[in-house]
Amino acid sequence: MFILGLPFTCNGGIHMFNLFNSAAPSWNLLLFALLEVLLVSWLYGIDNFMENLYQMNIRMPNWLRLYWRFTLLYTTPIILGILLLVSWINSGHIGYNGKDYPFGIQALGSLVTGSTVICLPLVAVYKLKDKYQESTAILGNLVKPTSQWGPNRDGSSVENLVP
């Protein structure tokens, strides 16, 4: 990390810092947040999620449950989707002191941003292939809870559930 950080201390370091500061926390974070909200509220199910909150002794009045239900199903995905589109439309405008960087530098910024997005599905596919070599119903196995899923009602410790 020391060697990777050295270029930031050179004369052009402010430009590298500005590029990384603008590119790294970019549309990729919005995409991850949108995927997380969609997967939890739509694929896993908002009812399952709200039941999990209840199982954790998080009690909410009905109006608050309705608020979170509406927010997680509709408001948050719409807002994150709009922000993601605006971020994509405004991409390619990284610069310093009002001057945009050349195309090659902009491409380097896109590479930095894209590397975070590409790593997630590549590692996921690798891990899925490693774990489910013979299974043809990978997606079905991933979205179904296991027999161990749920509250620990028998009084045993969590460590006993881990294989």
Please, which pLDDT band fits residue 143 given cuts at 50, 70 and 90?
Answer: low
Count other Cβ atoms within 10 Å, centred on residue 12. Answer: 10
Q: Report the alpha-carbon distance of residue 133 to residue 130 in Å, rounded.
A: 6
Residue the block writes with tokens 């590692």: 123
Whole-model pTM over 0.75: no
- Position 163 scores a pLDDT of 47
Domain ranges across the chain: 2-144
30 CB burial (10 A radius; 0-12, 13-18, 19+): buried
What is the tens place of the pLDDT at every residue in 50-92?
Answer: 988 888 888 899 999 999 999 999 999 999 999 999 988 877 7
Which of 37, 39, 48 has its CA nearest to residue 145?
48
